[in-house]
Structure 1
Amino acid sequence: MSLPQPKQLIASMVEDLAVHTQDNPDIVMVGIHTGGAWIAQQLHQQMKIENELGLLDISFYRDDFSQNGLHPSVKDSQLPNIENKTVILVDDVIMSGRTIRAAMNELFDYGRPEKIILACLLDVGHRELPIQADVVGKKLDCPLSQRIKLSGPDDLTLSIVTL
């Protein structure tokens, strides 16, 4: 399977997000650590969003926390005011939907957004929850035995990891 270049996917996402946000000047972008935060930083810059970029670590909100324990590199979540704002929630790869569910749970602990727009660099299918991205850089068919890994943050690259 040939993987696309993140730079081209991000440019496409900027165009799609502009359509979703054209009549809304009060936007907050929030990236999910780690890959989603890297993508969000680039989107935030290219879209020239005035509100501060938010960063979200969902480690304590995961539904597999009791099974897997605490991830060794928990980061602080840093969110600007999201109350009654349109939040663009950004992740690198959407698969089961569980990461996004955890991220939305955490967002609502910080306030009640008017709307959440989900933007993901890649969609590899295999949903376990009924969660779909509004903006996707690219959809890929990826077998369950493989994962797509985003490396960065300076030069973003995608690679395939076989389990």
Structure 2
Amino acid sequence: MTHPHQNLILDQAQIQQKIIRMAYEVYENNFEEQELVLAGIYQNGYKLAELLAKQLESISPLKVSLLRVTLDKDAPLQSPVDLAPDTVILENKTIILVDDVLNTGKTLAYAMNTFLQHSPKKVEIATLVNRHHTLFPVAATYTGYSLATTLREHVDVVLQEHELAAYLH
């Protein structure tokens, strides 16, 4: 699938390689843990969390719980942050918040606030593309690809069964 007026910055093989590397980094930093909670920001962050979880389970003995984080990215205070399934225990757990692109950090900052209310042991952030335009005190612990962009440029990440790609336009 081609995207008009967009430049491909990561193709499927590159994204898969970055997910493998990120999974090894996560495991190296958390090898003493029994369990990790990968909390993906719905929609693409959750898909990335699924791909990372699958990779982590293939390279490590860690038990990985997946959590879908849903929030209004444009008006995060208008509705509560939803965590699903609500059966995942967060207290004293290592939580890795996952999103496809780290831009201003606003989405991750509001999502992080929800997790802090559950007394986690540690919270880390994983992102496929880090644009370095943070306006909130959020830094990625794990980054697939660092990209210097202008504020007017936009990064689109596609994480579909038939296509894994990242585009800049």
TM-score class, shorter-chain normalisation, is 0.7 to 0.9
Q: What do residues 62-89 of structure 1 show as CA deviations (whole Å, max 9, x unaligned)?
A: 5x5189x78xxxx953041111100011
Matching of residue 88 in structure 1 with residue 101 in structure 2 = no
TM-score, normalising length: structure 1:
0.83
Aligned partners of 1:152, 1:127: CA distance in 2, in Å? 23
Task: Name which of 20, 33, 41 aligns with 1:32.
Answer: 41
Report if aligned partners of 2:8, 2:166 keep a CA contact under 8 Å in 1. no
2:4 is matched with none
1:100 is matched with 108
CA offset at residue 28 of structure 1? 1.1
Of all paired residues, the percent bearing the same amino acid is 26
Report if aligned partners of 2:19, 2:144 keep a CA contact under 8 Å in 1. yes
Q: Name the structure where strand makes up a greater proportion of residues.
A: 2
Runs of at least 4 residues of structure 1 off by over 3 A? none
CA root-mean-square deviation: 2.4
Q: What do residues 99-122 of structure 1 show as CA deviations (whole Å, max 9, x unaligned)?
A: 11011122235x221100111111
Matching of residue 15 in structure 1 with residue 36 in structure 2 = no
SS in 1 for 2:96: strand
Task: Name which of 66, 70, 75 aligns with 1:65.
Answer: 75
Aligned partners of 1:66, 1:157: CA distance in 2, in Å? 27
1:56 is matched with 69
- Structure 2 runs not aligned, ≥5 long: 1-6
Task: Name which of 123, 132, 142 aligns with 2:139.
Answer: 132
Aligned partners of 1:90, 1:107: CA distance in 2, in Å? 13
Code of the residue aligned with 1:58 in structure 2: it is L
Residues 76/105 of structure 1: CA separation in 2 closer, same or farther (3 Å cut)? closer
Task: Name which of 133, 145, 166 aligns with 1:158.
Answer: 166
Aligned partners of 1:66, 1:86: CA distance in 2, in Å? 24
Code of the residue aligned with 2:83 in structure 1: it is S
Report if aligned partners of 1:58, 1:106 keep a CA contact under 8 Å in 2. no
Matched length:
153
Report if aligned partners of 2:19, 2:55 keep a CA contact under 8 Å in 1. no
SS in 2 for 1:40: helix
Code of the residue aligned with 2:126 in structure 1: it is A
Residues 131/66 of structure 1: CA separation in 2 closer, same or farther (3 Å cut)? closer
